[in-house]
Amino acid sequence: MPHPIRPVVTAYIALGANLGDAAQALVAAMAALGSLPATQVIRRSSLYRSAPLDASGPDYLNAVVQITTGLCAPDLLAHLQALEQAAGRQRHLNAPRNAPRTLDLDLLLYGSARIASPHLTLPHPRMYQRAFVLLPLAEIAPGLVSAAQLHAVAPQRIALESPGLLGTDRGIELAHLTWQQAQAHLNADTVVLIALGAATKEHGPHLPLNTDWLQAEFYKDRILEQSPVLAVPTLAYHYFPAFVDYPGSVSLSLETARDLVLGICQSLARHGARRFYVVNIGVSTNRPLQAAAAALALQGVLLRYTDLTQAGPVKASIAQEQASGSHADVVETSAMLHIAPGVVNMALAVHDGQQDRGPGGLSRDPQGSGVYSPSGVYGDATRATAEKGAALVAELLASMLAEIAALRSCALPLSQAP
């Protein structure tokens, strides 16, 4: 098959089937998409049941997935057609356009690309005429579909077939359950997900105070879509002493931050939970999390957390674009351009924090200790791009999912409680 290329691009693919076990065909296709070279499935819609358009035959099952990929558009199309063929799809020269099929994979959007060739047209020329494309697309990317476009396809027969992700790989939010339902999920096999991201911490002049919280929410949602975790509400306050010199930044003491996580885990462990994973969008947070993990281990409970000081190859490569930095820099700003581009003001992005005066956090004081940064940026935010962000996010999400999978199979520590 063709070789993957860079940069990473966000793309959307419509899936449909109305022959054989259509639901299983879509589940298998979603898994296969995630196995393509340099490709990561980011979001998957619910299943929808729709009537065939301008054709006869059984109802279709439909869905849309969002991916990031390093494949160029023609190579991605070639892979999609290979997956169709592997699923038993037969293409006949004179067959009707909407004939029944075992699997149909349509490339809807590939970044902002506009292509008109004999073999590929982007955006897909008929996507806005089809309810079975627009409804699942609006579910996972509401900003790409307008109310007028949905109204135009309203007469087409379509119904929600399967809310949420198919199968058992969808996570659950604890806050949505009753206590009786929660009891059924709190056991030693369940991984409880705790997303942690500051809701009020400075991120320079170009990013909002809730930058970490937005990232934590993003990763929590992606993990819920792909892993059967039990997620608690996102923690908005923790230990961030390096930023208190900047108005609006809030930090708990190390002991309070430790006890916050400890208390959550102990409350749920009382009813059977034994495995906890913290989506940790912070670095100073490592210390209280490590202390909480040590205390919980003595009680027979496992706590693991994301360690942002450990860089994968994508992050390491992008970080080398700046002499130093680790906050509101090229890495974090790029990630935000992918996660929430509407909150990023690149016109105010700066390169700052190059004067390191020894131990301490970031400081606005030119005579103080630590890293002097009048802007609150530590690194070069001006080099950030959404393409870099897509690659960074895909790498970190894959690492989190792998760590959660490993946690699920880890042996529990022996309780030393009396």
Over residues 296-321, the pLDDT tens digits come to: 999 999 999 999 999 888 899 999 99
- Pick the catalytic residue from 44, 49, 75, 104: 104
Decide if 221 is catalytic: no
Contact 205, 350 (CB under 8 A): yes
* Inter-residue long-range contacts of 316-321, CB under 8 Å, 24+ positions, other chains counted: 318/388, 318/391, 318/392, 321/380, 321/383
Q: Which of 43, 59, 106, 364 is catalytic?
A: 106
User: Could you give the angle at the alpha carbon of 194 between the alpha carbons of 189 and 417, nearest 5°?
Assistant: 60
- Using CA of residue 313, residue 316, residue 318, residue 320, what is the dihedral sign? negative
pLDDT at 96: 56
Burial class (CB in 10 A: 0-12, 13-18, 19+), 347: exposed
Which regions in the chain score pLDDT beneath 70? 1-7, 90-99, 162-169
How does 16-49 read in b/e, with b if 16+ C-beta sit within 10 Å? bbbbeebbebbbbbbebbbebebbbbbbbbbbbb
Alpha carbon distance 251, 241 (integer Å) = 6
Rounded to the nearest 5 degrees, what angle is found at the Cα of 264, between the Cα atoms of 259 and 270? 115
Phi-psi region of 72 (alpha: psi -120 to 50; beta: other; left: phi over 0): beta
Q: What one-character-per-residue DSSP string does 73-139 give? A: HHHHHHHHHHHHHHTT----TTS-TT---S-EEEEEEETT--EE-SS-EES-TTGGG-HHHHHHHHH
Q: Could you confirm whether 75 is annotated as catalytic?
A: no
Q: Which residues contact 103 (CB under 8 A, 6 or more apart)?
A: 15, 16, 17, 25, 26, 29, 83, 84, 87, 88, 89
Known catalytic residue at 170:
no
- pLDDT for 354 equals 75
Q: Which residue in 89, 170, 287, 408 is the catalytic one?
A: 89
pLDDT 10s digits, 137-186 = 987 888 888 888 988 988 999 887 755 444 445 788 898 888 888 888 89
Q: Is 157 labeled as catalytic in the residue annotation?
A: no
User: Roughly how many angstroms between the first and final C-alpha of the chain, as a whole number?
Assistant: 60
Active-site residue identified among 101, 130, 274, 275: 101
d(CA 353, CA 5): 34
